[in-house]
Amino acid sequence: MTLLERYKATRKRTEDICEPLETEDYVVQPVADVSPPKWHIGHTTWFFETFILKDNYTGYQEFNPDYNYVFNSYYETVGARVIRTDRGNLSRPTVSSIYQYRKYVDEAMTKLMECGCSKEVEELITLGLNHEEQHQELLYTDIKYILGNNPLFPAYSKNQVSTVQNIPGADHLISINEGIYEIGFNESGFCFDNELGRHKVYLEPLKIAKGLVTNGEYIEFINAGGYKNFTLWHAEGLDWVRNNKVESPLYWHSIDGQWHYFTFQGLQAVDVHGILNHISFYEASAFASWKKMRLPTEFEWEAAADQITWGSRWEWTESAYLPYPGFKKAPGAIGEYNGKFMVNQKVLRGASDVTSPGHSRKTYRNFFHPHLRWQYTGIRLAQ
Amino acid sequence: MTLLERYKATRKRTEDICEPLETEDYVVQPVADVSPPKWHIGHTTWFFETFILKDNYTGYQEFNPDYNYVFNSYYETVGARVIRTDRGNLSRPTVSSIYQYRKYVDEAMTKLMECGCSKEVEELITLGLNHEEQHQELLYTDIKYILGNNPLFPAYSKNQVSTVQNIPGADHLISINEGIYEIGFNESGFCFDNELGRHKVYLEPLKIAKGLVTNGEYIEFINAGGYKNFTLWHAEGLDWVRNNKVESPLYWHSIDGQWHYFTFQGLQAVDVHGILNHISFYEASAFASWKKMRLPTEFEWEAAADQITWGSRWEWTESAYLPYPGFKKAPGAIGEYNGKFMVNQKVLRGASDVTSPGHSRKTYRNFFHPHLRWQYTGIRLAQ
Amino acid sequence: MTLLERYKATRKRTEDICEPLETEDYVVQPVADVSPPKWHIGHTTWFFETFILKDNYTGYQEFNPDYNYVFNSYYETVGARVIRTDRGNLSRPTVSSIYQYRKYVDEAMTKLMECGCSKEVEELITLGLNHEEQHQELLYTDIKYILGNNPLFPAYSKNQVSTVQNIPGADHLISINEGIYEIGFNESGFCFDNELGRHKVYLEPLKIAKGLVTNGEYIEFINAGGYKNFTLWHAEGLDWVRNNKVESPLYWHSIDGQWHYFTFQGLQAVDVHGILNHISFYEASAFASWKKMRLPTEFEWEAAADQITWGSRWEWTESAYLPYPGFKKAPGAIGEYNGKFMVNQKVLRGASDVTSPGHSRKTYRNFFHPHLRWQYTGIRLAQ
Amino acid sequence: MTLLERYKATRKRTEDICEPLETEDYVVQPVADVSPPKWHIGHTTWFFETFILKDNYTGYQEFNPDYNYVFNSYYETVGARVIRTDRGNLSRPTVSSIYQYRKYVDEAMTKLMECGCSKEVEELITLGLNHEEQHQELLYTDIKYILGNNPLFPAYSKNQVSTVQNIPGADHLISINEGIYEIGFNESGFCFDNELGRHKVYLEPLKIAKGLVTNGEYIEFINAGGYKNFTLWHAEGLDWVRNNKVESPLYWHSIDGQWHYFTFQGLQAVDVHGILNHISFYEASAFASWKKMRLPTEFEWEAAADQITWGSRWEWTESAYLPYPGFKKAPGAIGEYNGKFMVNQKVLRGASDVTSPGHSRKTYRNFFHPHLRWQYTGIRLAQ
């Protein structure tokens, strides 16, 4: 696939994800972490306009200078921006204006690629496409939140199946030997800067589960009073449970004594054989304590990656999100991509049902604050 | 005009107000006090369904039982409801669903009226229409906030002229004699319950301005350092100014040293002869102090109403919003209409450019918290 | 009594109130509205130093220039100050330093008065003494809060009796005739500026209770589900009840199913014949609604004052705290005394068990925000 | 030294630290992280009473059952407690009551030790003494905050010298070889549970500074606009700087253009040769970026510990506070000591001027949230 073909396919996939939406669904931001779909549509376009077209397309005419203010996410280098919590307060630009913006930028990008571009620009385009794939996953998770917190519980699409059955033998424990392992990206092809700085780590011997924890296992934890047993929790986890009155994973509702959850098909009874989804790091860690096990570190996970089954949930690890030895920030705005978030967050490894195909790999490092759970997050046990 | 004709005209006017909107404009709630236009469209419909059709239309089939939860504003009697700050988080029901709801209820209401209804039901319908007129004004003010806080400053309609020139001799002072005055509604026709309990008040002699304060006069106050002169302000007003960094009326922007404001036609240079708009009670009171005058009480205003020019701004009075002697709450949910708000708010008298024709009268009592300014508020001086 | 004698007696009374305290009790500020006793001791002293000695005592040497920053309460004219919520964060000046400050200022004040002073200075001293009497009441109420919110419930003094039995016939209703009444101070002697501007008001006929509501009557309201019956409450009152989980007056605790309250002698069983204390305006108003009565306005109260029994509780009125017609602010810092608080507060009339003798009178206007209840507040019914 | 001798010496040292305080200084809590000194005095006593005397001293009579509620810090196992932010709202128990409590417990502990106690009890006593030493350091840092945030800037003691001159050659870089290092406690004697689970780590080659950064070097960072250069900061660090308007280390004040800081002797001019103190992790990391260096990890620090000069500041590391492989929580309340805090915090290594003698060691792991700076924190650079 040429870069242009890949560009077109990736850009189309974003629009396909939004296809089932009503115009109104594009606009709202029910919590700060969830961005309005129209913002994602505009922001991924702004990324190409700002970091590629402005510098590399001679005579490029900016679509609308105000859009820079509207669609900048967090790049201090690029100037002022709408504060994150205000994204859902903007009715304009309209969805159709943003699709026009998208089309305008796509045409310029197409011309740019048809004329041929330098290796450096190709790398930036590849970064932009990987960036867009990250937003494709965010689109799924944000759309789920928008619909799942609506009192009408509207389905996203009746056709999509989102419950994933667990693999047989998921709780089988695989042994990993003590010793030195190489960690970090070491192949050809694209990776993010946070995967670089391949380096050695020394691992103590461990056992790690082949598969992930199921809804049924988690219901046992709930029924055993797991949310009230303070010995299982981090102090800040317990505060989070109490302040937010958490009693189950996100999207779960007890209806006439039976657990239901919101899915892309609407409210459904919880499938006890399905893989657990939408829990915070605090819940993952408490569940592991209850099982008298623990979460793996990201290094243990990477060392075991070829022997375990992964890809349906992003898996919380015990590791904090920190730079690898030898991590280097790129100069300029692109250098703000990852490094400045390397504090107070936890690493997640793997991929999820709603990760774009080919986007993840075993060295991929995802990261979120420990209380968040609107992503497709799950639990793998180790000891 | 028959009640049915009036019903149809009033309902149509609401839809006419929304006609220039994009779908996205119907959805957002940039601050808690501003409701999404689609919520107004649904809530005014819910009012007729809940308080009239359910009790009086035999065999009436509720359009959608979930809508009761979505469109109840503050009626405890009627059950649980979406909390006010969450109205802008709901992408569903869609705008077109709500218009279907509206059409469905209008058809039932039409049939009900065509069959003839009791005097009591006619009174409830009249209340519903006056309620809808209140929301018509709120639609204008909320739309203005939604567009006026968007960084693109989109115009609502290029045709509508919203700047009002002041009358000649606006600062002429009219004398009102000392004595006993009758206050409260005393005519035939509709009034709200808070206007009832006509009673006598004793007024000391006063002078009151024939017209309202202009933008130009207010600019003098700004230029004289009015916002920084603490002797002019209430203590809570000063806190409000400092915490919110207030330096001018709402919607004003200083561009290259000249004052502009957002209007329904977009950003425009401030018209110094236009009537001042969008100030809080605190600002109104501080301005009056700076002029060595004061605001009138609501009783003084009503006593002077026939001799002054009013109708373009709701005018802050010194009076707190309190029940008249003999005020009676209606039984049931309708009794929640006014009485439960009679604390911590200020009375405004008059009407505004965006008040529905025929909606206000000289005994009408509007009320808002003293820091609010997204309504069409102005200043009349007294001494 | 000469002014000097009165000065000495008043200043001594403040110290007498603090006599039972431990040093630690002088320091803490458990909520923003409660000031540390040592702050009251210093602030009342600072008032004399700042407004009298500095201007009128030739060659006066300020005790410590930093104290101006520490002990200014809210006078913008006099400069910067410790923000109110930080008063309890200051361990210095120590209690003994503040008593030295007090002694230093008292000696200078004594010399000033012995030398004779102008009528204007005498008036300022009288204002300072009335100001100190206001702080004497606040000392009692703040000390009660400091001890009553301590988990050890320490007694202030075993000797002081604070429960007040109600008068016989407290619920007898007295009739007040319709007509014009004169309101405001009209005698010789001291009054606050907010009592001035004597003026006429027209009252409709009313009935007003001879005495106040008892604890026993209020327990009936609680038992009848008064706190949960939303029809009785203002909307903001209901929010206050729900957000703060209010189920009884301040300082009440249900122990083994029986109501107890904290008094200056420690925890005691509630006396059902005692006069109700420590309720907010919201509770007072809801209780009156439950009785199918209402609270009197401050004008009704003043008109009835000679025929009712008052003096044990400050009584919430329906009236908002607003300027009388003809209210005038004094020039300079003293003008900040009352006027700048005339918004968002309710008037209370009467006096309380802990009001300094001779401090109140029938034209006296006390004022607090409607949710506050650490003062000695009670309910008188009208209709 | 016998355990009893060590007990007496440690307990006395706590009281010696408080000796220069006024009674009022014992009471206040200016921010949530700072506890009132009297709380430390009581809590360290409660620790011995609760975890040792109640279980091991036959017939022990609790001093006051209410003290359990007052002096429990965070042990869920032991029951309800005063919430942390309320510690400064308690005037009782008084300082002298708490010293009586202290004496009472010390007498019982003395008797217990004189009678001889089991190895297990001796270990608990040793834990209690190490716990008390931690609170000794907190007493110093909390007292500094209490006095340093008082507008009078009172000295703690004129005799104590708190500025530490840097060593010569502090910026000399020491090389550490690549390879496997053993991390964690491996000696006889006491250590905390978080140091256990000695394990191997693989380190890449690095250079690490022999000494710490000075005030003078940090002033260069300030003068170079370091606080405004967003490229140097974590995103959350930048938010912290902006929201708190941070422009210098804690306790620094610019007076007439010259930097001063609060010390235990009062306000003094900043010593440019002194070792930098009171900076957050965010500031430490931004400073290192500005120097084109980085902070060491805790493993690098421990590997280099014998070759560097340490002991005057706790040094921020890049490492998050996580359990070592093989970390085990003790059963019961003591198990709450460390493990439940292992999320969202950063590890600090070393010791400080105000650390109790003999308390720290090269495997010691201190930990705080990244924004905190009232501890004696400093910067060591690595690359």
Read off the tokens for C165. Answer: 């039995």
Question: Rounded to the nearest 5°, which phi and psi values hold at A51?
Answer: -95, -15
- Give B27's contacts in chain A (Cβ within 8 Å): 24, 27-28, 91
**Greater confidence, D74 or A229?**
A229
Nearest to B343 among C230, C325, C370 (CB): C370
Looking at the complex, does the CB of residue C184 fall below 8 Å from at least one CB of chain B?
Answer: no
Nearest to B276 by CA among B220, B215, B348, B210: B215
Looking at the complex, does the CB of residue D23 fall below 8 Å from at least one CB of chain C?
Answer: yes
Question: Rounded to the nearest 5°, which phi and psi values hold at D203?
Answer: -105, 135
Give the number of C-alpha atoms closer than 13 A to the C-alpha of residue A325, restricted to the C-beta side.
19
SS3 B54: helix
Given a cut of 60, whether residue C162 has pLDDT beyond it is no
Interface of A with D in 343-362 (CB under 8 A): 343-344
Q: Do B344 and C340 touch (CB under 8 A)?
A: no
- Give A150's contacts in chain B (Cβ within 8 Å): 90-92
Q: Do D344 and A236 touch (CB under 8 A)?
A: yes
Over residues D255-293, the pLDDT tens digits come to 999 999 999 999 999 999 999 999 999 999 999 999 999
Residues, chain B:
383
Looking at the complex, does the CB of residue B88 fall below 8 Å from at least one CB of chain A?
Answer: yes
Question: Rounded to the nearest 5°, which phi and psi values hold at D139?
Answer: -60, -45
d(CA D205, CA D177): 5
d(CA D149, CA B287): 38
Q: Is the dihedral of CA B354, B359, B364, B370 positive or negative?
A: negative
- Residue of D92, D262, D267 to mutate for C, most C C-beta atoms under 10 A: D92
Looking at the complex, does the CB of residue D206 fall below 8 Å from at least one CB of chain C?
Answer: no
pLDDT of D163: 59
- Give B206's contacts in chain C (Cβ within 8 Å): 325
Over residues C124-133, the pLDDT tens digits come to 999 999 999 9
- Confidence grade of residue A296 (pLDDT, cut at 50, 70, 90): very high
Q: Do A27 and B27 touch (CB under 8 A)?
A: yes
- How far away is chain C from the Cα of B54, in angstroms, using its nearest Cα? 22
Over residues D80-103, the pLDDT tens digits come to 888 999 999 999 999 999 999 999
Nearest to D42 by CA among D3, D87, D7, D109: D87
Contact exists between A and B (3 or more beta carbon pairs < 8 Å): yes
Q: How many CB atoms lie within 10 A of CB A311?
A: 12
- Residue of C69, C92, C145, C149 to mutate for D, most D C-beta atoms under 10 A: C92
Q: Do B370 and C344 touch (CB under 8 A)?
A: yes
- Give C155's contacts in chain D (Cβ within 8 Å): none
Residue pair A193/A327 in contact (Cβ under 8 Å)? The answer is yes
Nearest to D324 by CA among D133, D183, D172: D183
Nearest to A315 by CA among A165, A209, A200: A209
Closest chain C residue to the Cα of D86, Cα to Cα: C30
Closest chain B residue to the Cα of C332, Cα to Cα: B231
Residue pair A194/A185 in contact (Cβ under 8 Å)? The answer is no
Looking at the complex, does the CB of residue A182 fall below 8 Å from at least one CB of chain D?
Answer: no
pLDDT of A345: 97
Residue labelled with tokens 């003691």: D157
d(CA D121, CA D130): 14
For domain D173-378, the CATH class is alpha beta
Over residues B252-307, the pLDDT tens digits come to 999 999 999 999 999 999 999 999 999 999 999 999 999 999 999 999 999 999 99
The complex scores an ipTM of 0.96
Over residues B136-165, the pLDDT tens digits come to 999 999 999 999 999 999 999 876 655 577
Over residues A59-103, the pLDDT tens digits come to 999 999 999 999 998 888 888 888 999 999 999 999 999 999 999
Query: Where would I find the H helices in D149-209?
Result: none
pLDDT of D78: 85
Average of pLDDT values for D14-28? 98
Query: Where would I find the H helices in chain D?
Result: 3-18, 37-48, 54-56, 66-71, 95-114, 119-148, 215-223, 235-243, 281-290, 298-304
Say if pTM beats, i.e. exceeds, 0.80.
Answer: yes
The string of DSSP letters for A113-157 reads: HHT---HHHHHHHHHHHHHHHHHHHHHHHHHHHHHHTSTT---S-
Q: Do C234 and B204 touch (CB under 8 A)?
A: no
Residue type, D276: L
CB within 8 A of D206, min separation 6: which ones? A325, D175, D176, D296, D300, D382, D383
Between chain A and chain B, how many beta carbons pairs sit less than 8 Å apart? 91
Read off the tokens for A139. Answer: 């689109």
Closest chain B residue to the Cα of C289, Cα to Cα: B329
Over residues A338-374, the pLDDT tens digits come to 889 999 999 999 999 999 999 999 999 999 999 999 9
Nearest to D378 by CA among D351, D354, D355: D351
- Confidence grade of residue D161 (pLDDT, cut at 50, 70, 90): low
pLDDT of D60: 97
Looking at the complex, does the CB of residue A258 fall below 8 Å from at least one CB of chain D?
Answer: no
Nearest to C322 among B77, B201, B318 (CB): B318
Looking at the complex, does the CB of residue B83 fall below 8 Å from at least one CB of chain C?
Answer: no
Q: What angle, rounded to 10 degrees, do the helices at A119-148 and A3-18 form?
A: 10
- How far away is chain C from the Cα of D93, in angstroms, using its nearest Cα? 8
Over residues C295-353, the pLDDT tens digits come to 999 999 999 999 999 999 999 999 999 999 988 887 777 777 788 999 999 999 999 99
Q: Do D24 and C95 touch (CB under 8 A)?
A: yes
Give the number of C-alpha atoms closer than 13 A to the C-alpha of residue B67, restricted to the C-beta side.
26
- How far away is chain A from the Cα of B89, in angstroms, using its nearest Cα? 5
Burial of A171 (0-12, 13-18, 19+ CB in 10 A): middle
- How far away is chain C from the Cα of D157, in angstroms, using its nearest Cα? 15
Closest chain D residue to the Cα of A178, Cα to Cα: D200
- Give D343's contacts in chain A (Cβ within 8 Å): 234, 236-237, 281-282, 285, 370
For domain C3-148, the CATH class is mainly alpha
The string of DSSP letters for D42-64 reads: HHHHHHHIIIIIHHHSTTPPPS-
- Give D231's contacts in chain A (Cβ within 8 Å): 76-77, 335-336
- How far away is chain A from the Cα of B30, in angstroms, using its nearest Cα? 5
Looking at the complex, does the CB of residue D204 fall below 8 Å from at least one CB of chain C?
Answer: no
- Give B282's contacts in chain C (Cβ within 8 Å): 343
Residue pair C147/C153 in contact (Cβ under 8 Å)? The answer is yes
- Confidence grade of residue C163 (pLDDT, cut at 50, 70, 90): low
Nearest to C10 by CA among C38, C61, C48, C51: C48
Closest chain A residue to the Cα of B143, Cα to Cα: A91
The string of DSSP letters for B2-40 reads: -HHHHHHHHHHHHHHHHTT--GGGGT--SSTTSPPHHHH
Over residues B101-132, the pLDDT tens digits come to 999 999 999 999 999 999 999 999 999 999 99
Burial of A255 (0-12, 13-18, 19+ CB in 10 A): exposed
Q: Which residues of A47-74 are buried (b: 16+ CB within 10 A; e: fewer)?
A: bbbbbbbeeebeebeebbeebbebbbbe
**Greater confidence, A214 or B326?**
A214
Given a cut of 70, whether residue C160 has pLDDT beyond it is no
pLDDT of D160: 64
Contact exists between D and C (3 or more beta carbon pairs < 8 Å): yes
Given a cut of 80, whether residue C92 has pLDDT beyond it is yes
- Confidence grade of residue D353 (pLDDT, cut at 50, 70, 90): very high
- Topology agreement, domain B3-148 and domain B173-378: no
Closest chain D residue to the Cα of C85, Cα to Cα: D30
- In chain D, the percentage of residues whose pLDDT exceeds 70 is 99
Read off the tokens for D291. Answer: 């120097």
Q: What angle, rounded to 10 degrees, do the helices at A95-114 and A119-148 form?
A: 160
Q: Do C74 and B235 touch (CB under 8 A)?
A: yes
- In chain B, the percentage of residues whose pLDDT exceeds 70 is 99
Looking at the complex, does the CB of residue B323 fall below 8 Å from at least one CB of chain C?
Answer: yes
- Give B326's contacts in chain C (Cβ within 8 Å): 204
Looking at the complex, does the CB of residue D27 fall below 8 Å from at least one CB of chain C?
Answer: yes
Over residues B58-85, the pLDDT tens digits come to 999 999 999 999 999 888 888 888 899 9
C-alpha distance from residue D108 to each of A32, B318, C59, C194, D6 (Å): 55, 69, 60, 63, 16
- Give D336's contacts in chain A (Cβ within 8 Å): 231
Looking at the complex, does the CB of residue C186 fall below 8 Å from at least one CB of chain B?
Answer: no
Residues, chain D:
383
Chains with ≥3 CB–CB distances under 8 Å to A: B, D
* Cis peptide preceding B154, ω within 30 of 0: no
Q: Do C234 and B335 touch (CB under 8 A)?
A: no
- Confidence grade of residue D337 (pLDDT, cut at 50, 70, 90): confident
SS3 B236: helix
Nearest to C305 by CA among C214, C194, C196, C181: C181
Given a cut of 70, whether residue A163 has pLDDT beyond it is no
**Greater confidence, D160 or B156?**
B156
Mean of the per-residue pLDDT values of chain A: 95
Average of pLDDT values for D230-250? 97
Q: Do C343 and B199 touch (CB under 8 A)?
A: no
- How far away is chain C from the Cα of B262, in angstroms, using its nearest Cα? 30
Looking at the complex, does the CB of residue D201 fall below 8 Å from at least one CB of chain A?
Answer: yes
Looking at the complex, does the CB of residue A151 fall below 8 Å from at least one CB of chain B?
Answer: yes
* Cis peptide preceding B325, ω within 30 of 0: no
d(CA D72, CA D92): 15
Closest chain C residue to the Cα of B76, Cα to Cα: C230
Read off the tokens for B43. Answer: 């809530």
Q: Is the dihedral of CA D15, D16, D22, D27 positive or negative?
A: negative
d(CA D25, CA C303): 51
Q: Do C202 and B200 touch (CB under 8 A)?
A: yes
pLDDT of A156: 95
Domain ranges of chain C: 3-148, 173-378
Looking at the complex, does the CB of residue B267 fall below 8 Å from at least one CB of chain A?
Answer: no
Beta bridge partners of C209: C173
Q: Do B204 and C341 touch (CB under 8 A)?
A: no
